[in-house]
């Protein structure tokens, strides 16, 4: 995977976030009762320190030449470079969708779907060209996902008395 100037980019993202926290901290009341520190003191001091340290780190990186360097350590790998990036994004998106649908779909359905899709994404992306996807394996995975999600639901809700989201059909 190529990380092109991404160390610099990540520094900039953190810098923007810290700057935003700093800007927000300016709206906090800065008057302190009884000679103590104000509620704004810590947020301001901390976000300011982050900004300064990040700038120092960037300058250091520039001098050492690591900040803008291309990292090509895994470039000799057989898999195309976009595959891991795509996989990462797909899993991240799937996680967000799982969180979104956890309550509307209920625990059992959403978890079964999540498990199925999560394994399926990794399998499909790591799948070698020419190999056929066997329907039996897909069915097995579907059964596995359903069984695991029901089992976990029962263990947590009945065993550990944890309230999980349900849609009220047959108790799930």
Partner 1 sequence: MGDYVEALGLVFQWHVLLVIGGGTLLGLIMGALPGLTAAMAIALLLPLTFGMPPVMGMGMLLGTLCGAIAGGSVSATLLNIPGTPSSVATTLDAFPMARRGEAGRALGICIVSSFIGGVFSAIVLSLLAPPIADFALRFGPAEYFALSVFGLVIIASVSSKSLLKGLVAGLIGLLIATVGTDPVAGVQRYTFNNLSLLTGVNLLPALIGLFAVSQVLKDVVDYFGGGPVEHSKSKMDHARPRWVETLRYWRVLASSSVIGTIVGAIPGAGGSIGSFLSYDQAKKMSKTPEKFGTGHPEGIVASESSNNALVGGALIPMLTLGIPGEAATAVLMGGLMIQGISPGPTLFTDNGSIIYGIFIAFFVANIFMLLIQWFGIQLFVKVLQVPRKLLMALILMFCFIGVYAVDADIFNVYLMLGFGVLGYFLNRYDFGTAPVILGLILGPIAESNIRRALLLSSGDWSVLVTRPISLTFLLVSAAFLFFTLWQNRRQTTPHS
Partner 2 sequence: MKKLLSVFGAATMLASSMTMAADYPSKNIEFIVPWSAGGGADNVVRALQPSLEKALGTTIVVRNLSGGGGAVGFSRAIASKPDGYTVTIPTNATFTLEGLGNVAFTRDDFDYIARVLVEPYVMAVRKNDAWQDLDSLSSDLKSSGKPLRIGASGVGSSTHIVSLMLGEALGLDIEVIPFDSGSAAVSAAMGGHIDGVVLNPSEVISAINGDRLTPIVTTGEERSSALPDTPTMEESGYDFELSQWRGIAAPKGLDPAIEAKWVEAVKQAVEDPQFQKAARSMGSDISPLYGEELDQFVEKTSKPLIEEARAIRQ
Residues interacting with partner 2, by CB under 8 A?
34, 161, 163
- Minimum separation from the CB atom of position 171 to partner 1 (A): 17
Q: Which one, of 108, 107, 136, 141, lies nearest residue 123 by Cα? A: 141
Q: Residues near 164 by Cβ (< 8 Å), separated by ≥ 6?
A: 107, 153, 156, 157
Cα–Cα distance measured from residue 8 to residue 69, given in angstroms and rounded to the nearest whole number:
9
Q: Which one, of 56, 119, 63, lies nearest residue 90 by Cα? A: 119
Three-class secondary structure of residue 70 per DSSP: strand
- Minimum separation from the CB atom of position 152 to partner 2 (A): 18
Binding partner 1 (rule: CB under 8 A), the pick from 10, 70, 140, 154 is 10
- Minimum separation from the CB atom of position 157 to partner 2 (A): 9
Three-class secondary structure of residue 4 per DSSP: strand
Binding site for partner 1 (CB under 8 A): 1, 3, 6-7, 10, 13-14, 18, 21, 24-25, 28-29, 32-39, 42-43, 46-47, 49-50, 53-54, 56-57, 60, 74, 77-79, 83-84, 87-88, 91-92, 95-96, 98-99, 102-103, 107, 111, 114-115, 118-119, 122-123, 125-126, 144, 148-149, 152, 156, 160-165
């Amino acid at each position: 995977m190529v990380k092109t100037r991404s160390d610099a980019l990540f520094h900039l993202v953190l810098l923007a976030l810290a700057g935003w926290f700093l800007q927000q901290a300016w709206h906090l009341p800065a008057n302190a009762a009884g000679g103590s520190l104000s509620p704004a003191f810590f947020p301001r001091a901390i976000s300011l320190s982050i900004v300064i340290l990040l700038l120092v780190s960037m300058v250091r990186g520039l001098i050492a030449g690591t900040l803008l360097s291309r990292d090509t350590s895994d470039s000799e790998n057989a898999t195309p470079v976009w595959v891991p990036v795509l996989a990462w994004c797909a899993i991240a998106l799937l996680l967000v969708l799982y969180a979104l649908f956890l309550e509307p779909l209920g625990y059992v359905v959403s978890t079964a779907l999540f498990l199925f899709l999560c394994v399926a994404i990794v399998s499909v992306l790591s799948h070698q060209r020419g190999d056929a996807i066997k329907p039996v394996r897909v069915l097995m995975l579907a059964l596995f996902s359903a069984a695991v999600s029901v089992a976990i639901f029962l263990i947590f809700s009945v065993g550990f008395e944890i309230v999980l989201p349900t849609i009220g059909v047959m108790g799930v």
